[in-house]
């Protein structure tokens, strides 16, 4: 299942850059630019990880973290700050943050911290999904068909993983959008068709398979092999 992240950062350019980078890695990302909005989103929606700036208008990151922890929310929190000092780090960790990153930072480092926190939370990772001779490895982000690796983009992988998690079931476009794209996506829902077509060209056509079937008027179904579309 696609991981959902919340970025609470008042520097809009930084927030958007982080969101684009993480979305390109296959995450669904929401952003907030003030503390009040960030806290509300964190309370209303289920996230797998929160990237939380400390210096925020309205409500600072320390208070957001403390309120979430007091309410029993154990979502991993990676704190960001422009400050640099042991006191600030200690205060952030004392309020319940799981990790701490000082600006300026490398995106590669942030990405590594995010994945480390997510691995820690999943406690051993997600199982490999097998649909006939197709295998989807969520942790390794690897797809194989008949023993041959199939290279996918991050978003293609996320769409396939969503279908694989519901193998044998009809999955609507709306469900795929909700599971793979972020909550704020308001673009053309036909983007799903684009990715399904790309997946068929990569995991089906070269292997003589028709495993992603179209159920007209309803959505798509991933099966061990194909047959005619319904």
Q: What is the pLDDT of residues 157-174, one digit of tens each?
A: 889 988 998 999 999 998
pLDDT for res 40: 96
Structure tokens given for 64: 């957001």
8 Å CB contact between 51 and 7: yes
CA distance 12 to 205: 42
pLDDT for res 228: 46
pLDDT for res 158: 83
Tell me the mean pLDDT in the region 167-189: 79
68 three-state secondary structure = helix
The residue to which tokens 């993983």 are assigned: 161
8 Å CB contact between 47 and 28: no
Q: What is the pLDDT of residues 81-114, one digit of tens each?
A: 775 544 455 555 567 888 888 887 778 778 888 9
Most confident of 70-74, 120-124, 152-156: 70-74
pLDDT for res 154: 74
Of the given ranges (5-9, 17-21, 38-42, 224-228), which has the lowest mean pLDDT? 224-228
pLDDT for res 94: 66
8 Å CB contact between 2 and 161: yes
Spatial CA neighbour of 45 closest among 57, 37, 34, 35: 37
8 Å CB contact between 161 and 130: no
Spatial CA neighbour of 25 closest among 148, 158, 124, 136: 158
Evaluate if residue 31 carries a pLDDT over 60: yes
Q: Where are the beta strands (DSSP E) in 36-123?
A: 49-53, 77-81, 99-102
CA distance 18 to 30: 11
Question: Can you name the residues that pair with 52 across neighbouring β-strands?
Answer: 8, 79
pLDDT for res 24: 85
Long-range contacts of 130-134 (CB under 8 A, 24+ apart): 131/164, 131/167, 131/211, 131/222, 131/223, 131/224, 132/211, 132/223, 132/224, 132/225, 133/207, 133/224, 134/164, 134/203, 134/209, 134/211, 134/224
Evaluate if residue 51 carries a pLDDT over 60: yes
Evaluate if residue 9 carries a pLDDT over 90: yes
Evaluate if residue 148 carries a pLDDT over 60: yes
pLDDT for res 87: 45
pLDDT for res 91: 57
Of the given ranges (66-80, 147-161, 181-195), which has the lowest mean pLDDT? 181-195
Mean pLDDT of the chain: 85
């Amino acid at each position: 299942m696609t991981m959902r992240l919340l970025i609470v950062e008042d520097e809009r350019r930084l927030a958007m850059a982080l969101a684009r980078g993480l979305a390109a890695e296959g995450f669904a990302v929401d952003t907030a630019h003030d503390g009040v909005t960030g806290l509300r989103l964190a309370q209303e929606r289920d996230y797998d990880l929160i990237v939380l700036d400390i210096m925020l208008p309205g409500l600072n990151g320390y208070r957001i973290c403390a309120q979430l922890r007091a309410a029993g929310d154990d979502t991993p929190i990676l704190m960001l700050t422009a400050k640099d000092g042991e006191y600030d780090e200690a205060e952030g960790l004392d309020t319940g943050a799981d990790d701490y990153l000082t600006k300026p930072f490398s995106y590669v480092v942030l990405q590594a911290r995010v994945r480390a926190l997510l691995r820690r939370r999943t406690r051993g990772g997600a199982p490999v999904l097998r649909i006939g001779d197709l295998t989807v490895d969520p942790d390794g982000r690897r797809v194989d068909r008949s023993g041959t690796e199939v290279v996918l983009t991050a978003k293609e992988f996320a769409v396939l993983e969503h279908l694989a998690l519901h193998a044998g079931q009809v999955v609507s476009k709306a469900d795929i959008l909700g599971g793979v794209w972020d909550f704020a996506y308001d673009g053309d829902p036909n983007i799903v068709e684009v990715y399904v077509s790309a997946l068929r060209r990569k995991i089906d056509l070269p292997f003589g398979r028709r495993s992603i079937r179209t159920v007209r008027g309803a959505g798509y179904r991933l099966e061990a092999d194909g047959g005619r579309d319904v």
